[in-house]
Amino acid sequence: MKNLLNLIYKYHFFLLFILLEGIATSMGIRYNLYQKAGFVAFTENISAFFNESISSFSDYFNLVETNRKLSLENTILKNQLQRVYRSDELFFFGENDTLHRQKYFFTSARVISNTVTRMHNYLSLDKGSDQGIQPEMGVVCSEGIVGVTNGVTRNYTSVLSVINLNFHVSAKLKKNNYFGTISWDGSDYRTVILNEIPYHVNVAKGDTIVTSGYSAIFPEGIPVGTVEEASVENGSFYRIKVKLFTDFRHLTYVDVIRNLQKEEQKKLQSHD
């Protein structure tokens, strides 16, 4: 206490000056409208700055939850689109028209592990058989194709990635519907190879490649990528290098596709 009194005594002129300045400033703001308005504006700006900073800080830590909700909403919209687009109340097709009556159901999942530097790359998802996932289901993201489910446990799923030497899927040129097979040659995780397109077909850099819908795994029209370069091999077919839409180094949420008529379609195709 004695030290505090000594400190006040030592700096009493300075403290008195601060007190008088405070009183003078308060009276100036109180009785001068211009000064009062300026002070109010100043304090509001300071308050807005701190509120914005706190909000930005809070938003940063809420990004994971925000992304999860957006992924779930996207999945719900896809399912609604499938129900509307394939509804017999709006479109009428024959009972044996298996292509147009094909229906799909989308389930959102989070990527918990992923590899891109190996010859046989896989992803792991945080959902499994308890959530309805089975082997040989297509996996996509908002950009395009991702892979096919492989091993499935109760709560987890392993996915055979597009950038895996064992991956193959039917795909086509969007502009003219000529189809071939997509595979990976192991050279670059950003590109795949489209084979079996006849050399007489018009193929240009930038052409869009999508899934053909000729398998029971992927619907027709799932984006794959764009033509980066094309060369003719053996004088009959193109070897087309396709730049993938999907960035496999930044995968967080995906959708697993369930074909509700998969067994019927596979049974039909087994007789071909």
* Domain CATH number, residue 120: 2.40.10.340
Is 260 found in the same domain as 149? Answer: yes
Residue 228 domain-assigned (yes or no): yes
Predicted TM-score (pTM) of the model is 0.66
Is 119 found in the same domain as 250? Answer: yes
Query: The domain containing residue 188 runs over which residues?
Result: 104-269
Over the stretch 14-61, which tens digit does the pLDDT of each residue have? 666 676 666 666 665 565 554 544 544 455 455 445 545 554 555 555
Give yes or no for residue 186 having a pLDDT over 90.
Answer: yes
Least confident stretch, 97-106, 234-243, 245-254: 97-106
Which is more confidently placed, 131 or 33?
131
Q: What is the pLDDT of residue 77?
A: 66
Residue 50 domain-assigned (yes or no): yes
Is 192 found in the same domain as 116? Answer: yes
Is 129 found in the same domain as 48? Answer: no
Is 55 found in the same domain as 134? Answer: no
Q: How far, in Å, are 77, 105, 157, 201 from residue 261 at the CA level?
A: 20, 11, 21, 33
Residue 99 domain-assigned (yes or no): no
For residues 129-151, b (16+ Cβ closer than 10 Å) or e, as one string? eebebeeebbbbbeebbbbbbbe
Considering 26, 44, 60, which residue would you say is the last residue of a domain? 60
Which is more confidently placed, 62 or 225?
225
Query: Which pLDDT band, with edges at 50, 70 and 90, does 164 fall under?
Result: very high
Is 123 found in the same domain as 29? Answer: no
Q: Give the side-chain half-sphere CA count within 13 A for 79.
A: 15
Over 175-241, what HEC string results? CCCCEEEEECCCCCCCEEEEEEEECCCCCCCCCEEEECCCCCCCCCCCEEEEEEEEEEECCCEEEEE
Residue 79 domain-assigned (yes or no): no
Is 157 found in the same domain as 211? Answer: yes
Which is more confidently placed, 95 or 116?
116
Residue 227 domain-assigned (yes or no): yes
Query: Which pLDDT band, with edges at 50, 70 and 90, does 171 fall under?
Result: very high
Is 220 found in the same domain as 128? Answer: yes
Residue 161 domain-assigned (yes or no): yes
Over the stretch 62-104, which tens digit does the pLDDT of each residue have? 566 666 666 666 666 666 555 544 444 443 333 333 444 457 8
Q: What is the mean pLDDT of residues 252-260?
A: 89
Split into its structural domains, the chain has a count of: 2
Q: Are 109 and 223 a contacting pair, CB within 8 Å?
A: no
Q: Which residues are 197's β-sheet partners?
A: 238
Which is more confidently placed, 30 or 135?
135
Gap between the Cα atoms of 18 and 20, Å rounded = 6
Mean model confidence pLDDT for the chain: 78
Q: What is the mean pLDDT of residues 215-229?
A: 93
Is 110 found in the same domain as 52? Answer: no
Is 45 found in the same domain as 173? Answer: no
Q: What is the pLDDT of residue 195?
A: 95
Residue 98 domain-assigned (yes or no): no
Residue 71's identity, in one-letter code, is: S
Is 265 found in the same domain as 130? Answer: yes
Is 48 found in the same domain as 111? Answer: no
Residue 78 domain-assigned (yes or no): no
Q: Three-state DSSP class for 113? A: strand
